[in-house]
A and B are shown apart, each in its own frame.
Chain A
Amino acid sequence: MSRFRSFVTAVRPFVFGMGAVVTVWQVIVWAKLKPTSEIPSPVMVADALGGLWSDGVLLSSMWNSLHRGVLGFLMSILVATPLGLLVALVRPVRSFVRPVLSALQQLPSVSWVPISIVLFGTTSTTVYAIILLGAVPSIANSLVSGVDLIPPTQLRAAKMLGLGGVRNVRRVVLPAAMPGYLTGLEQGWAFAWRSLMAAELIASTGELGSGLGNILTEGRNSQNMSLMLAGVALVLACGLLVEKAGFSPLRRRVLSARGLAVA
């Protein structure tokens, strides 16, 4: 019972917020500022979602996109973590690589899509390349900042305990940098997910399975505003799912273990 109650308490603000958005939306529709072909009503979008569900497209599209996004994100972590540690801890590497990382982080990874398509065609290689180019710099950079912010007393303590090399990195540096690293992961996921959506919109043909980007493209091709809004809602739902099921519990664990306030 108390578990149910705490769930309700946690979900209530979200439900109220979404309810407010839908209410305003419905009011705008009733005001007939635009025809429903341009601003469809919430019910029409719900209908479009229902259609996607009964066609079996809804779950498969979500799965395809999430699967690709998460896989690309995991690959980004595998690349960015050793890279970030090298940049943070090895001075010569830092002076050469850090500026490159910062430059790449400024660059919207969508800029690479045309080049990628020429190089790899409209294949999953293109999609993953775009995700990596988007997520790796931000994850690596945040890890570098996280390492830089470790209090010197902690590093001195590690040294006094005779910790060095890989063991020091694994037992002290990485856990000490964890809060900053986690922020980097969340940011990296946001970049990965955005990059994926952009890639799916631009490269929506070929051997790529159908993802959420394809729903948006199909909506555009058939001038179906309800379908496009349904697609946006699904993209949003995926983002929320990853935040609530992935990052939120992880963040709570990391912060509460360190006695830091959980927002």
Chain B
Amino acid sequence: MITLSKATVVFGAQPIPVLDSVSLVVEQGEFVSVVGASGCGKSTLLNVIAGLEKPNQGVVEVESAPSLIFQDPALFAWLSARENVALALHDKGMRRADQRSEADRLLRMVGLAGDENKRPHELSGGMRQRVAIARAIARGSRLLLMDEPFSALDAITRDVLHDELVTLWKEHGLTIVFVTHNVREAVTLGQRVMLMAARPGRVVAEWHIDEAYPRDPSSNFVHGLEREITAALKKEVVGV
């Protein structure tokens, strides 16, 4: 569970806070999407939850240590997919052989069976991001903070990864905070979509989505809600 109450972040001497008194509660096992235009403080919000950034005011409580996943999968280029995942197990007191088999199991789980020995440069962008997800799960964290993880991928790969992420989330009881500027992605994934506005960064609106998974990104439901949220987003950006 994540609890933020009135978290405010100011960068240096800037007059307008990057996050202005943001309060939110994310329950255990929830999948929350955060949308907003560039520079609205989405990433800062994630960094605050991750503990990478301390708020100037307000309180942050996070129950379990989170794993962060960024647009850049940041894999280690000199290690194979298996070694990348196994490295996340370095402090679990496991033997090398156990680390390897656990890494293989996690790679199978993200659909990379047979690619264990490949190096990052031999994998596609989507596969690399899968390794990053397996690595994050290997840390034993049940809380994933994802910062536009799929925005560098092509649309079809992204759709596939959306389905897989939802499956992982359900099977492992993960809690996911998913930051994106893509409204359709936010609607396809989240049980809740939070809309952030910039200058100062704050949460301006929230939608609860009861639609069952997996959601078809081209369905009327997703389209309708996407239109609605995009209109609200536009209003925040342009001010009309």
- Answer whether residue A161 sits at the interface, using C-beta atoms and an 8 A cutoff: yes
Query: What's the minimum C-beta distance from B92 to chain A, rounded to whole angstroms?
Result: 10
Roughly how many angstroms separate A157 CA and B85 CA in the complex, as a whole number? 12
Q: Are A258 and B139 in contact (CB under 8 A)?
A: no
Q: Are A154 and B90 in contact (CB under 8 A)?
A: no
Pick the contact of B135 from A156, A161, A258 — CB < 8 Å?
A161
Q: Are B76 and A172 in contact (CB under 8 A)?
A: yes
Which A residues are closer than 8 A to B by beta carbons?
Answer: 151, 153-154, 156-157, 160-163, 167, 171-172, 175-176, 178, 254, 257-259
Q: Are A259 and B139 in contact (CB under 8 A)?
A: no
The verdict on A259 contacting B77 (CB below 8 Å), with A153-B72, A160-B68, A161-B90 known, is: yes
Closest Cβ neighbor of A174 among chain B residues: B78
Roughly how many angstroms separate A153 CA and B76 CA in the complex, as a whole number? 10
Roughly how many angstroms separate A160 CA and B138 CA in the complex, as a whole number? 12
Roughly how many angstroms separate A154 CA and B87 CA in the complex, as a whole number? 13
Interface string of B28-44 (1 = CB under 8 A from A): 00000000000000000
Pick the contact of B70 from A153, A167, A171, A258 — CB < 8 Å?
A153
The verdict on A175 contacting B78 (CB below 8 Å), with A153-B72, A161-B139, A259-B120 known, is: yes
Roughly how many angstroms separate A196 CA and B103 CA in the complex, as a whole number? 49
| 21 examples of A-B residue contacts, CB within 8 angstroms | A151-B74, A153-B70, A153-B72, A153-B74, A154-B74, A154-B76, A157-B75, A157-B76, A160-B68, A160-B136, A161-B87, A161-B90, A161-B135, A163-B87, A163-B90, A171-B87, A171-B90, A176-B78, A178-B78, A259-B121, A259-B122
Query: What's the minimum C-beta distance from A208 to chain B, rounded to whole angstroms?
Result: 41
- Answer whether residue B88 sits at the interface, using C-beta atoms and an 8 A cutoff: yes
